[in-house]
Each structure stands twice: as C-alpha cells, then as structure tokens.
C-alpha cells in the first residue's frame, strides 16, 4: 500500500472509530439498563446527551482552534477521545458513564472536521471526492459492524468490553496519524465572526434544517431499533445481530445512492426522497405487526435517510467556496454538527414517546420530521437555483 493510500485508509479508519464509539451504544442500551438497574427509557437519554454535547461543542472548538497547528490539535483531541472512551469502558455507574460519553462527544466532531479538512488539502484533486465519500461512509460501515459487534460482545462478555475494543483501535489510529499526518498545512485564517458569517446564508440554513429534520426522523426509530426487532417483531437475540448487520448494509447502499443523486441535480430530487421517507415512517407502525414487512420497512428507511447527505454537503461546500472562503472548515463540519442536533432531538422524542406510548407509535412521530424535511427541500430547491 502506497503512502497516499495508507493515509486515506487512516482517515477512513478515524471515521469508523468515531462511528463505532457513537453508534455502538445503540446496540447495548438494553444491557446498560440491566447493568445499572434503570429503565430502558432512562438509558436512551445517553444517546440524546452525546448528540447534544457533540452538536454544541463542535462549532465552538472548531472556530476557537481554527488558527492552531492542525497536527498538534488533532493529536491532542485524539488523546482526549482515548481517555473518554476508556472511562466509558470502566464506568461503574450510570453517572460515570454519562460523564465519559460527554468527554468523547465534546471532541469527536472537531476530529472528523479536521480529517475532512486534511483530506481536502493533502489528497490529490482527482482522488479527493472519492476519499471524502469514503470518510463519510466510514460512519455507515461503523453502523454495519459497530452495532452488531457491540451487541455480540455484550451478549458473550459484557458491554464494557465493547468499548475496550474501541480504545485498542484508538491507539492504532493514533499511531498511524502521528506517522502520516503532515506537521504543517496551509491555513486560511479568519475571525470567529467572519467564520460564522456562513450561518447567515439562507441556503445554508435550509440545509441545516433538512439535516436536523432527517436525523430526527431516523433516530425516532433507530434509538430503539433493538427492542423494535426483538420485543415488537419477536426476533431472537441470535437473529438480532444478523438483522442489525442487514440494516447497516442498507445504510452503505444508501451512501452509494446518495452519490448518484448528488451528481444528478440532487437538490431537485430531495423533495421526492423525503416524501418516500415520510411515507415509510407513517406505515412503520402497521408494518411492524409482521416480521417480513417490519424488516423491509426498517431496511428501506435505513437506505432513504442516508441519501440526502452528499447533496447537502455539496451545497455547504459550494456556498462557502464561492462566498465565504474563510468558513470552509466550518462548512465541512456542518453535517456532523447538525446531524447530532437531529440525533439528540430524535432520541429525546423517542424516549419521551416510549415513556407515554408504545414502541409502534414511533413512526408516526418521525413522520412529523419528514414533513418538515419536505418543506425545507422545496424552499431550498427554489433558492439554490439562484
């Protein structure tokens, strides 16, 4: 493997590591609840807290450290991430676990923002789109492997061991980054206010609204995907791991479709994509009454909720390059920032719904977010033409 390919692989591995840390907890929520003797709905707020801290800390750290040496900053953030994840692995109580998740969430967004920025700077122009796409796909691959792997390890050993594996992976990634990351890279400097000017653009604001709405819909059902599969549809724990793997594969397929949509007037196609997504969410409750229709609907949702991402990322980057060049670093992080706002809102909605109603009502709540996404996409389609 050439030096350039190994560097690209390392960047993808960073995304995979971060994705495993974020998504693995979804597969072990039931185990955590049993471990600490608390209701499942209470443990569900771990997802909400992680996403909320991620969304708040990422723009703050990204803008405040924009003039720092990127290599030193990346190494520092990776060290903090390792400490936070290791604290997660040894957490003796729910409060300790929450504290550890907050530490990792605080730095995860800035790490992936730095990786995207480094890709855009040091990767050859002809290979840049593919590497950026695969860095994004690293999170989907993490959902394919991370969630079922975490579930399997929790079943065979303990959910704590799932996070010990991530700590081991973090050490490997740290060593590769220390070896392969350039010590100095060109930096376009701008004040905090100059960087934040990007957030005043209505096209960017509409893209943010779409991101929040889509992820909110996704996490109204994905936060409780394990009990939906086992408790509602009645699949065994043995089948659960394979079914989670299937849903992860569907997410990767969604990434591939996202690239095709984005390269063929993607903004114009988003209303159709979101209409399909909303219909699937509306029928989810009825579909869950049967194992086949339930899994088919969940699988289709896992494909459709991914498709928007590449198109919206291109909108953010295009607007920044043309009108806000000082904000390009912030533009590359907007998807991850506001996706976690959506994850936080969606998981909070899901936890609240489960507290007062049944799991089968989650799809109806998610459809509300789908309607918002449809509305935002129609307005974006109008303004982005200009």
Note down pLDDT in tens along the chain; length 386 residues: 567 778 888 988 999 999 888 878 877 877 888 888 878 777 877 877 887 888 788 888 888 887 788 889 999 999 999 999 999 999 888 888 889 999 999 999 899 988 887 877 777 656 666 676 777 778 777 866 766 677 777 777 788 888 998 999 999 999 999 998 888 776 666 677 888 889 999 999 999 999 999 999 998 988 888 889 998 898 887 788 788 878 888 888 887 788 788 877 889 999 999 999 999 999 998 999 899 999 999 999 999 998 898 788 878 877 887 888 888 778 888 887 888 788 888 988 888 888 787 788 888 889 999 999 999 999 999 888 64
pLDDT value at residue 206 = 96
100 contacts 84 by C-beta, under 8 angstroms: yes
128 contacts 77 by C-beta, under 8 angstroms: no
Q: What is the CATH number of the domain that holds 26?
A: 1.20.1250.20
Examine the domain organization and report whether 49 and 134 are in the same domain: yes
Residue with tokens 């690293």: 138
Examine the domain organization and report whether 142 and 179 are in the same domain: yes
Examine the domain organization and report whether 162 and 60 are in the same domain: yes
pLDDT value at residue 329 = 78
| Among candidate residues 186, 209, 233, the one where a domain is terminated | 186
Examine the domain organization and report whether 219 and 243 are in the same domain: yes
Reference 380, options 253, 257, 211, 227; nearest CA is 211
| Among candidate residues 186, 210, 226, the one where a domain is terminated | 186
CA pair distance 327, 66, nearest whole angstrom: 10
Domains identified in the chain, total number? 2
Examine the domain organization and report whether 224 and 102 are in the same domain: no
Reference 44, options 36, 54, 32; nearest CA is 32
Examine the domain organization and report whether 109 and 243 are in the same domain: no
Examine the domain organization and report whether 55 and 141 are in the same domain: yes
CA pair distance 214, 219, nearest whole angstrom: 9
**Buried-state track 170-187, b at ≥16 Cβ within 10 A, e below 16:** beebbebbeebbeeeeee
Give the side-chain half-sphere CA count within 13 A for 292: 0
Examine the domain organization and report whether 60 and 172 are in the same domain: yes
Pick left, alpha or beta for residue 37 (phi over 0 → left; psi -120 to 50 → alpha; otherwise beta). Answer: left
Specify burial of residue 227 (Cβ count, 10 A radius: 0-12, 13-18, 19+): middle
Domain interval for residue 200: 190-385
Examine the domain organization and report whether 309 and 170 are in the same domain: no
pLDDT value at residue 128 = 62
Examine the domain organization and report whether 15 and 148 are in the same domain: yes
pTM: 0.78
CA pair distance 206, 217, nearest whole angstrom: 17
Residue with tokens 């600490």: 36
| Among candidate residues 127, 153, 186, the one where a domain is terminated | 186
Examine the domain organization and report whether 1 and 125 are in the same domain: yes
pLDDT value at residue 2 = 62
Residue with tokens 């994509």: 273
Examine the domain organization and report whether 271 and 367 are in the same domain: yes
């Amino acid at each position: 493997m050439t030096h350039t390919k190994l560097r690209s692989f390392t960047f993808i591995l960073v995304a995979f590591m971060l994705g495993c840390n974020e998504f693995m907890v979804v597969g072990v929520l039931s185990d955590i609840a049993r471990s600490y003797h608390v209701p499942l709905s209470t443990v569900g707020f771990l997802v909400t807290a992680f996403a909320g801290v991620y969304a708040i800390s990422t723009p703050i750290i990204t803008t405040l450290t924009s003039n720092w040496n990127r290599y030193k900053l990346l190494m520092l953030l990776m060290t903090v991430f390792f400490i936070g994840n290791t604290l997660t692995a040894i957490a003796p109580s729910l409060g300790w676990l929450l504290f550890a998740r907050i530490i990792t969430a605080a730095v995860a967004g800035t790490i992936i923002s730095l990786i995207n920025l480094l890709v855009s700077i040091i990767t050859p122009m002809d290979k840049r789109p593919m590497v950026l796409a695969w860095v994004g796909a690293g999170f989907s691959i993490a959902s394919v492997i991370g969630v079922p792997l975490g579930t399997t390890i929790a079943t065979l050993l303990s959910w704590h061991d799932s996070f010990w594996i991530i700590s081991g992976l973090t050490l490997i990634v740290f060593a590769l980054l220390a070896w392969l990351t350039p010590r100095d890279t060109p930096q376009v400097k701008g004040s905090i206010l100059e960087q934040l000017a990007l957030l005043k653009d209505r096209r960017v604001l509409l893209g943010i609204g779409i991101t929040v709405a889509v992820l909110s819909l996704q996490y109204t059902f994905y936060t409780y995907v394990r009990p939906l599969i086992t408790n509602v549809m009645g699949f065994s724990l043995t089948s659960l791991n394979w079914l989670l793997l299937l849903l992860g594969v569907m997410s990767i397929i969604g990434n591939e479709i996202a690239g095709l949509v984005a390269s063929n007037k993607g903004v114009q196609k988003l209303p159709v994509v979101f209409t399909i997504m909303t219909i699937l969410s509306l029928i989810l409750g009825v579909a869950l009454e049967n194992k086949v229709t339930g899994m088919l609907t969940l699988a289709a949702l896992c494909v459709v909720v991914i498709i928007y991402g590449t198109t919206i990322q291109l909108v953010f980057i295009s607007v920044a390059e043309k009108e806000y060049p000082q904000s390009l670093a912030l533009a590359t992080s907007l998807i991850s920032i506001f996706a976690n706002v959506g994850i936080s809102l969606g998981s909070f909605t899901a936890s609240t719904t489960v507290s007062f109603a049944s799991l089968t009502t989650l799809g109806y709540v998610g459809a509300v977010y789908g309607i918002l996404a449809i509305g935002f996409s129609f307005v974006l389609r109008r303004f982005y033409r200009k």
